[in-house]
Amino acid sequence: MRFQSQVAVALATLPAVFGITPESMLAANRYGAAAPNPSGDFAIYTVSNYTFETAERASYWNKLDLKTGEISVWYAGSDISEVVFVGPTPTSIIYINGTNAEDDGGISLYSADANSLESAKLIASLPAPYSGLKAVQTECGDIHFLVYTKAYPNGTAYNEALASTPASTARIYTSTYVRHWDTWLSQEKNAVFGGVLKGGNETYSLSGELTNYVTGICNVTCAESPYDQSDESDYDISPDGNSVVFLTKDTSLPLANYTANVIYHVPFTGTADDAVPINARGSTKYPDAQGASTSPRFSPSGEHIAYFQMNGINYESDRTILYVAHADPEDFNVTALALNWDRAPDSMAWSKDSETIFVAAPDLGRERIFPIPLSAGDSYVPKNITNEGVPSAFYVLPDNTLLVSDSKIWTSRDIFTITPEGDVVKTYFQANLVDPALAGLKPEDVSEFYYTSNTSEIKQQSWIIYPEGFDESKTYPLAFITHGGPQGAHFNSWSTRWNFKVWADQGYVVIAPNPTASSGWGQNLTDSIQGRWGLYPYWDLVHVWDYVNENLKYVDTENGIEAGASFGGYMTNWIQGHELGRRFKALVTHDGSTSTLNQYASEELWFMNHDFSGQFNQTGFVAGSPYYDWNPLLYVDNWATPHFVVHNSLDFRLPVSEGILLFNMLQTKGVPSKMLNFPDENHWVLNQENSLVWHTEIFKWINYYSGISNATSPY
């Protein structure tokens, strides 16, 4: 299936280009989601870019007129970090300036009219790096707001810039979960703070001190919200400003072993002592609801609180279910909506009448928006109202249309409105029609196919991405990209880390499969990876390769390469030791697992306990254990294909020793190999300069072995 463009005329006005390069992709504009004002007259969003010649970043805010479609610069600068529409008029705002006059690591809070920023008034200087602003106007005209920052165990806000430096750098721990993602954990934990702004007409003053709603809720562990490295999506404030909800990990369980969350309800005028759990394990009529919760959201009426929750207590990729609770601490009366729906929604927006919840969920390689009415029973099957792309955010406007900001493989940002039935009302912005770096990218660059595998009853999907100037009568080397997770998917979305079109425009046809473990084709396919890391997905990938080899005559499989990150990196290491590895000219592993016996060097032990069907112990050294059976090192004697290794020092999920082990073994075996390390990057490579090196070195390697380049050496 090839996608058909509706923008050929517009594309014809753009300058001709010969594909998108890593440098142009990394320097191109990056767009935030368009957030509308309360009357739906306009929306604002951030834009940022990077200039390699000067090594400078620039950022600004755009204003989109939702009536005329006109786009203009709203604020030229980066010091406004967050904006909330709140106050007496539809253009009243409160915003955060990421610094303050004291230059003490804190922030400034301002009020303004969005149409006259030059008249902004300073409300307060806050002596900590607060963020995650949410605010509502109360009946009396005051503004109640929420922010978060790290807090000391005594509940006061923590500011690293003002904190004393201890004489020793020692860290001491007495329980697991000593570090996470790229950070060693400390006694300071995130907490949600509430404050009151007195006044009106864009003139306010901070009344009293901020209230900490989280710190002090303790059992086996202590509460933290937003949880660890999450954000303001973990809490909300009611429309009348009288109530707050927030989620935290279940404090009765060890952090490293379980995914369970609890959502708390607390009066705005209360403290952590007044917090009441909404969905504590075993407290609702859904005893299976034991797992992670996300996204608590008040309805516009203030009468309900919606949230998502999984059942599995140690499974981070279980199916999420939409629940609605009454906003009544005396009786939350939690009810599931569309309980049996075989999809896993992950974001939401309430309709203005509080009768429908719009959710986004992975679906067949896309992230689609589905309306779910409050009346939905267990067997209700939602119908999607969007098709292509993955939304970054969506908002319900006063006329009940939805303002959607999404991306696709061929465009970094589209902004449009749709009706609740799915009809597109107006398309305001398409990055591939505006940004010179994206000129020429179009839906026809992308296709998909379904293939049969012996591991599942359903057919599985794969994306095809074509190079610039693709000619079906010619042949192009295969770039076979395996996704991470393993529970996850290759989606029809833009990426600045693994951008399929950038890879294709090196001269490849990119094949991006969604094998066993992929999300969006039903929970059974996602769950089937458990205990079978090197089995089901490997054979699925073999079937993908066979399909391409037999059916896509324009793909040169003789000179193909394979690459993957995270679980995709593990699978690359597994492929290296098996027959599929001999079908590629080169392999690329980015931050992958080399020895499954080392899984407990990670931080989220719940992940290993689930995916490897139990805790690691001495049985892990014996055949029959997933830890043993799916270890790539069992097949090290078969390693032969030239192999590029990337592993970053701040990756605590998959420690850098895994990459060093892989590289050492390749070198010992005499397999052509090269290692790239970034000491300041984590599981991802985010810095543009580092990312350019990442692309340059990897493409130098694969282009040599695939024959695309005329280089005399891959080094």
Print the SS3 string covering 211-269.
Answer: EECCCCCECCCECCCCCCCCCHHHEEECCCCCEEEEEEECCCCCCCCCCCEEEEEEECC
96 backbone φψ class: left, alpha, beta (φ>0; ψ -120 to 50): beta
Residues recorded for the chain: 715
Contact criterion met (CB below 8 Å) for 479 and 499: no
Average pLDDT over residues 102-115: 94
Contact criterion met (CB below 8 Å) for 425 and 419: yes
Report helix, strand or coil for 335: strand
pLDDT for position 55 = 97
Helices (H) and strands (E) in the chain, counts: 10, 38
Q: How far is CA 613 from CA 310, 531, 606, in A?
A: 18, 6, 10
Contact criterion met (CB below 8 Å) for 146 and 225: no
Contact criterion met (CB below 8 Å) for 294 and 262: no
The model's pLDDT over 23-39, given as tens digits with 9 standing for 90+, comes to 999 999 999 999 999 99
Average pLDDT over residues 450-454: 97
Distance CA 699, CA 714 (A): 9
Please spell the DSSP secondary structure of 155-210, one letter per residue.
SPBP-TTTSPPPS------SSS--EETTEE--S-EEEEEEEEEEEETTEEEEEEEE
Contact criterion met (CB below 8 Å) for 348 and 354: no
Distance CA 100, CA 109 (A): 9
Tokens (6 digits) for 112: 């303004």
* Orientation of helix 567-576 relative to helix 536-551, angle to 10°: 70
pLDDT for position 7 = 39
**Poorest-confidence range of 8-22, 87-101, 183-197?**
8-22
Contact criterion met (CB below 8 Å) for 397 and 417: yes
The chain-wide mean pLDDT, for the chain, equals 96
Contact criterion met (CB below 8 Å) for 687 and 500: no
Q: Are strands 476-482 and 555-565 parallel, antiparallel or unpaired?
A: parallel
Tokens (6 digits) for 516: 């066993």
Report helix, strand or coil for 169: coil
Contact criterion met (CB below 8 Å) for 306 and 247: no
Average pLDDT over residues 121-149: 97
Positive or negative torsion for Cα 548, 554, 560, 564: negative
pLDDT for position 709 = 96
Q: Are strands 424-430 and 446-451 parallel, antiparallel or unpaired?
A: unpaired
Active site residues: 566, 651, 683
The model's pLDDT over 456-492, given as tens digits with 9 standing for 90+, comes to 999 999 999 999 999 999 999 999 999 999 999 999 9
- Under the banding of pLDDT at 50, 70 and 90, the label for residue 16 is very low
Contact criterion met (CB below 8 Å) for 511 and 584: no
Tokens (6 digits) for 151: 């807090």
The model's pLDDT over 240-292, given as tens digits with 9 standing for 90+, comes to 999 999 999 999 999 999 999 999 999 999 999 999 999 999 999 999 999 99
Give the bridge partners for 68, in sequence order. Answer: none
Residue 555: pLDDT above 50? yes
What is the pTM (predicted TM-score) of this model? 0.96
How many Cα atoms within 13 Å fall on the side-chain side of residue 175?
Answer: 11
The model's pLDDT over 307-349, given as tens digits with 9 standing for 90+, comes to 999 999 999 999 999 999 999 999 999 999 999 999 999 999 9
Compute, in degrees rounded to 10, the torsion defined by CA atoms 404, 405, 411, 416: 40
Provide the percentage of residues in the chain whose pLDDT is more than 70: 97
Q: Any residues with CB less than 8 A from the CB of 375 and at least 6 apart, and which?
A: none
